[in-house]
Structure 1
Amino acid sequence: MRLFATGLLLTMAALFLALHRLHGLFPAWDTPLGYAIAFTEAAMVGGLADWFAVTALFRRPLGLPIPHTAIIPENKDRIADSMARFLRENFLTPQVVARRLQGFNFAASLGGFLGDPTRGENPRIRAGAANLLADVLESLDPEQMGGMVKTGLKSQLARIDAAPLLAQMLENAIADQRHLPVLEAMLRKVGEVIEANEPMIREMIHARANTIMRWTGLDERLANGVLDGTYRLLAEIIVQPDHPLRGKVDEALTALVRDLRSDPEMQARVARIKAELLANPALGAWIEAMWERGRTALLEAMRNPEAALSGSLGATLGQGLGQLGAALGGDARLQVMVNRFARRTLVGVSARYGSEIVRLVSETVKRWDAQTVSARIEGAVGRDLQFIRINGTLVGGLFGLAIHTVERFL
């Protein structure tokens, strides 16, 4: 298009010179030649003016230091800030995001996609997205990412107030009697430990009995009584739901819940234990190992998504996604819940990260050199810019023709 516009301008210049050569040689043709000369002359002026205007946007015409030229390279940073401000004010404010999402049924669209039985026939989107994610994961430094995951998880855990959380968990467990299986399992384990160490217990009782008890054999009867009584007590606690010791355990757990919620000393003790656990190097090593195993498995799945989703796993996953899509497409209440969650999430993202996003745009454009900015903008709108030159040449010629006509009749 640039060559075409330049060629049209040169054609007008060549015709102008040729017509001037012919003017006066044939007097009968002077009048029509005058109109043609006026057209080509004005076309040259219009074409040159628009060539200068278009060129001045991106560079200095003919390399001359003419003021107010190379506008885009000279104002690159201001353009970057304007682009970022435009994005921030028109796309990434919570009010704009909420308004644009108000009439969009995200849940129904997602349900239609997941419930479409033909979505698996063309896996290009899935494979492309998987490969893209795999490339991103592989491009990141594994050690640095592992450290970031560990630091991020530890910082999140450090913010959690553990005492009220433990109190709520214990209270819910007591209310639903979910602690009873744990209690019974612990009692059975205590019985197994006593049974496994029965000779040692008998030896301890014999060692602590006096001489008379040993001579009379009372120490053996005492050991049998202690062990039998212990076994009987454990069995009664396990099989009798209303055993008094069960009530004592419930009372102790209820008191612990109360202390976790209201006792500053207990809360400080829990916070201290949590801090010691987070500071333990073994926890950091465990988190990094878990991250590396998860990262490796994720990379393998993304590099070969067909194999990862083949067989019974793929069939089960596909069936589950289809059922989820049907539910999203047909359940109006579920759609309301999902749409509300999606709107709140996206509005929250725009509120929290909108400034960072636009700053990323601004800083990226500012880091580009002037030639890169000019080339990318000119490449995006180049054809229309060259049409400006073409139109300027033709419209200028028509105006020149009109002016010459008016001049002839004055």
Structure 2
Amino acid sequence: MAAPSQTAGHEAAQSADDAAKIAALRRTKAVATAALVACVGVFLGARALQDSYPAFAYVAAFAEAAAIGGLADWYAVVALFRRPLGLPIPHTAIIPANKDRIADNLGRFIEVNFLAPGPVREKLEEVDFALLVSEWLSDRRRSAGLSRFVGRLVPQALAAVEGSGLRDFVVKRVTEQVEKVQVAPLAADLLTAFTADRRHQQLFDELLRVFGRLLSDEDALAAIRDKIRQELPSLANLFKADAYLLKKIVASAATLIAEVEADAEHPMRHEFDRFVKGFIDDLRTSPDYAARAEQLKRDLLARPELRGLAGDFLSSLRSFVEQDLASDQSAVRRHLADMFVQVGKQLADEPEIRADMNQGFVMALASFVENQKSGVSTFIADQVRRWDILQLTRLVEINIGRDLQYIRFNGMLIGGLAGLALHVGERIIFHN
């Protein structure tokens, strides 16, 4: 919206321009009228002198025809805007009498010639909309303003989602898609990626460390010793064979664990490789494994906790976003602004993406113009109809009236030449 001082300045400039046009129009009218009066005066003077000076007959013929031509063109020009001399002559005051038809034709002319699909599309294709978007987003201040605007909308959008059926719809659709997924082959593929380059040996190392810690745990050793004592004969227990066996077992196990940890090619490691590979193959091909995996998936999806998880997630997300956006140092707004700036810079370096975006802009805007052009035509016609007829006439006369006055000059000149030609023809034909 323009400032009041700017609007006043524009109106003053427009009024000065109109005043200059009116002054020029009045001067031209005065000159044309004076020329017409001069033609009449010359005609009368030449007629009075032609008996004494026959050459004045030619001047009289020229002046008479020029006056008639000037008068006829004066009538034609005046008839466009008003009734000549106020007389109710038919087919005069053409513009005021045909205001509605002019309004309809003007609106239809703009619709057909300016808002046709071809010219509109050609004009739109001249504009690089995507580059304008890129330059706009690349400005840090504008992107920051956009991030603030988006930041105000995000909590409202989350609240709308939370209060609508969209959450249940999303959960239902996600559940349907998950139900279509074959879990066993997917798990086999994931494990295959995990076991590449024998990365599963890291899991085996962790298992070895767990066993190592178990061998040094007093409670675990006591439980193992009790189990050994239960299995040995009573006589062996008298000689504390359980303690001896436990010591041997722990020592042997510790030695084995140390050997396996130190040797990357230990047979136990290769045995673990074979176990893992066999398990993955069974998971991928075994119908029994597949059935168990599908049953586990169905049981998981049927649990009510899973459906409540989406609601809890949205509530937590909304709470976090609202708290963050309330802060002056909002991380969400900062990341949004950075993202918008980065998108703008990357868009500037991607001509193919810009071309696709521009094509989309052209299609969308051309379709919009095509759907709305009849409304534009009606709007223009209605606006012209609402104009005050005196204002409309004055507007047209101010802008083209001066040029129309030159028709009077041309009428006088052409009429005079035609009258002179006819007079010469008359003298030649009739030899007088």
Which TM-score band applies after superposition, normalised by the shorter structure?
A: 0.5 to 0.7
The residue number in structure 2 matching 1:406 is: none
Deviation at 1:128, TM superposition (A): 1.0
Contact kept in structure 1, 2:144 and 2:337, CA below 8 Å: no
Alpha-carbon distance in 1 for matches of 2:263, 2:241: 32
Distance 1:146 1:270, change over 3 A: same
Instruction: Determine if contact 2:283/2:290 at 8 Å carries over to the other structure.
Output: yes
Alignment correspondent of 1:162: 183
Q: Which amino acid aligns with 2:86?
A: L
| In the alignment, structure 1 residue 384 sits paired with structure 2 residue 380 | yes
1:245-394 maps to which residues of 2 (within 5 A)?
245-301=268-324, 303-304=325-326, 306-309=328-331, 314=334, 335=350, 339=353, 383-389=379-385
Contact persistence 2:147–2:336 (CA under 8 A): no
- Shift of the 111–236 alpha-carbon distance from structure 1 to 2, 3 Å rule, reads farther
With over 3 angstroms needed to count, the CA separation of the structure-2 counterparts of 1:320 and 1:126, relative to structure 1, is: closer
Q: Quote how far apart the aligned CAs of 1:283 are.
A: 3.3
In the alignment, the residues of structure 2 paired with residue 294 and residue 123 of structure 1 have an alpha-carbon distance, to the nearest angstrom, of: 22
Distance 2:186 2:210 in 1: 28
Aligned to 1:75: none
Task: Return the offset for 1:43.
Answer: 4.0
Q: CA deviation at 1:233?
A: 2.8
Which of 195, 206, 211 does residue 174 from structure 1 map onto? 195
Supply the distance in 2 between the matched residues of 1:239 and 1:168 (Cα, whole angstroms): 30
- In 2 relative to 1, CA 52–136 (structure 1 residues): closer, same or farther, beyond 3 Å? same
State the SS of the aligned residue for 2:307. helix
Instruction: State how far apart, in whole Å, the 2-side matches of 1:110 and 1:198 are.
Output: 72
Q: Could you report, residue by residue, the CA deviation over 1:114-163 in whole angstroms, capped at 9, with x for unpaired residues?
A: 7x4x4146632211122122222223334845434433433332232222
The aligned length equals 283
| One of 85, 89, 96 as aligned partner of 1:32 | 85
Matches within 5 A, 1:202-213: 202-213=225-236
Select the residue among 150, 154, 157 that pairs with 1:129.
150
1:242 to 239, 247, 265: 265
Do the aligned residues in 2 keep the contact of 1:111 with 1:326 (CA within 8 Å)? yes
- In the alignment, structure 2 segments of 5+ residues that lack a partner are 1-82, 106-123, 397-432
In the alignment, does 2:210 pair up with 1:189?
A: yes
Confirm or deny: 8 A CA contact 2:162 2:314 kept in the other structure: no
Q: Which runs of 5+ in 1 are unaligned?
A: 1-29, 54-99, 351-357, 362-375, 399-410
* One-letter amino acid of the counterpart of residue 266, structure 1: Y
Taking the aligned partners of 1:391 and 1:143, their CA distance within structure 2 comes to 50
SS of 1:128's partner is helix
Q: CA deviation at 1:296?
A: 2.0
Q: 1:391 to 1:220 in 2, by over 3 A?
A: same
Query: Equivalents in 1 of 2:129, 2:271: separation in Å?
Result: 54
Q: Are the aligned partners of 1:134 and 1:299 in contact in 2 as well (CA < 8 Å)?
A: yes
Give per-residue Cα distances to partners, 1:304-348, cap 9 Å, x unaligned. 4752239xx95x997788778767766xxxx58x949x979x99x
- Amino acid across the alignment from 1:33: G
Residue 242 of structure 1, CA deviation: 0.9
Shift, 1:272, TM fit: 1.7
Equivalent residue of 2:87, what SS?
A: helix
Counterpart AA for 1:141: E
Q: Which amino acid aligns with 1:290?
A: F
Distance across 2 between alignment mates of 1:288 and 1:377: 46
- Matched to 1:251, the amino acid is R
1:221-270 deviation digits (Å, cap 9, x = unpaired): 11222233333333333332111111111111111222222222222222
* Further displaced range: 191-200 or 201-210: 191-200
Q: Tell me the percent identity.
A: 19
Name the aligned partner's letter for residue 220 of structure 2.
N
Matched AA of 2:234: T
Quickly say closer, same or farther: Cα 1:292–1:319, change in 2 above 3 A. Answer: closer
Residues 31 and 167 (structure 1), Cα distance of their counterparts in 2 relative to 1, 3 Å cut: closer
Aligned-pair distance for 1:380? 6.9
**CA 1:201–1:123: 2 relative to 1, 3 Å:** same
Q: Distance in 1 between matches of 2:99 and 2:258?
A: 104
Computed over aligned residues only, the root mean square deviation of the Cα atoms, in angstroms, reads 5.0
User: Are the equivalent residues in 2 in contact too, given 1:50–1:392 (CA < 8 A)?
Assistant: no
Asked whether the equivalents of residues 137 and 299 of structure 1 are also in contact (C-alpha less than 8 Å), the reply is no
Matched residue type, 1:229: S
Who is 2:238 aligned against?
215
Correspondences of 1:74-113 after superposition (within 5 Å): none
Q: CA deviation at 1:284?
A: 3.4
Give the direction of change, closer, same or farther, for the CA distance of 1:322–1:383 in structure 2 (3 Å limit).
closer
TM-score by length of 1: 0.53
Change in CA separation of 1:382 and 1:318 when aligned onto 2, cut-off 3 Å: closer
Secondary structure of the 1:187 match is helix
Q: Distance in 2 between matches of 1:389 and 1:281?
A: 67
Larger deviation, residues 380-389 vs 212-221: 380-389
Q: Deviations over 1:197-217 (max 9, x none)?
A: 221121111122211210122
